[in-house]
Amino acid sequence: MFRDLVVKNRSYRGFDENCRIDRETLLELVDLTRFTAASANLQPLKYFVASEKEIVDQIQPLTKWAGSLSHLNLPYPGTRPTAFIVICQDENISASVGMLKDVGIVAQTITLGAAEKGLGCCMIGSFELAALKKLLNLPEKIEPKLVIALGKPAETIVLTDAEDGKTTYYRDEAGIHYVPKRKLEDILL
């Protein structure tokens, strides 16, 4: 059932580094985005896929993970992602900020597709933009909007009900990651 896939699709910040992801798998995930809704059907989003260890290891230090647990410097050495997909907006096609909706649409599609394959992802909105553009040698007006890290999940995530509107995620001593989600009654108008 689709609901099971949505629940399975967690934001992972620890991976099995022995499990590499090949370029073909990343292309299958990007291909899914071709069939998603697009604002005015403009489709300004383009994708840099990184599966080779050399480039993956260069992207990793430019990404900033888990702002609420920044003291942990996640992901820990030895548990880093083994692939990245960088979602970029081709501003020659559209420079509209509204395309951030499209970014979310395709990002959710990619991560659900990855979850079906037994992979885990983390959407990363915080990264060193200028350095990333330089590293990926992106043409002018190709603007990275979201980085998706991928790998074989190697951590435990537990969803909880958010109480009193508190949604900050946290970890216990065993490293289990807890994510408070608002209850249905709290998100209905």
**To the nearest whole angstrom, how small is the minimum distance from the Cβ of residue 21 to a copy of itself?**
16
Three-state SS letters, 29-84:
HHHHHHHCCCHHHCCCEEEEEECCHHHHHHHHHHECCCHHHHHHCCCCCCCCCCEE
Q: Which residues does residue 158 pair with via DSSP β-bridges, in sequence order?
A: 178
Three-state SS letters, 145-163:
EEEEEEEEECCCEEEEECC
**Nearer to a copy of itself (CB atom), residue 77 or residue 140:** 140
Q: According to the binding rule CB under 8 A, does residue 136 interact with a copy of itself? A: yes
In three-state secondary structure terms, 121 is: strand
Q: According to the binding rule CB under 8 A, does residue 56 interact with a copy of itself? A: no
CA atoms within 13 Å, Cβ hemisphere of 95 = 4
In residues, how long is the chain? 189
**To the nearest whole angstrom, how small is the minimum distance from the Cβ of residue 76 to a copy of itself?**
20
Kind plus residue range of the DSSP H or E element containing 23: helix 23-32
Q: According to the binding rule CB under 8 A, does residue 15 interact with a copy of itself? A: no
Q: What span, in angstroms and rounded, lies between the C-alpha atoms of 135 and 59? A: 8
Q: CA distances (Å), 110 to each of 16, 34, 73, 93, in order?
A: 20, 11, 25, 22
**Nearer to a copy of itself (CB atom), residue 78 or residue 183:** 183
**To the nearest whole angstrom, how small is the minimum distance from the Cβ of residue 96 to a copy of itself?**
10
**Nearer to a copy of itself (CB atom), residue 1 or residue 174:** 1
- Interface characters, 59-98, with a copy of itself (x: CB under 8 A): --------xx-----------------x-x--------xx
Of positions 57, 116, 163, 172, contacts a copy of itself by CB under 8 A:
116
For a copy of itself, the binding residues (CB under 8 A) are 1-3, 5-7, 9, 11, 27, 30-43, 45-49, 67-68, 86, 88, 97-98, 100-109, 111-113, 116, 123, 125, 136, 138, 142, 145-146, 159, 162, 167-169, 179-184, 187-189
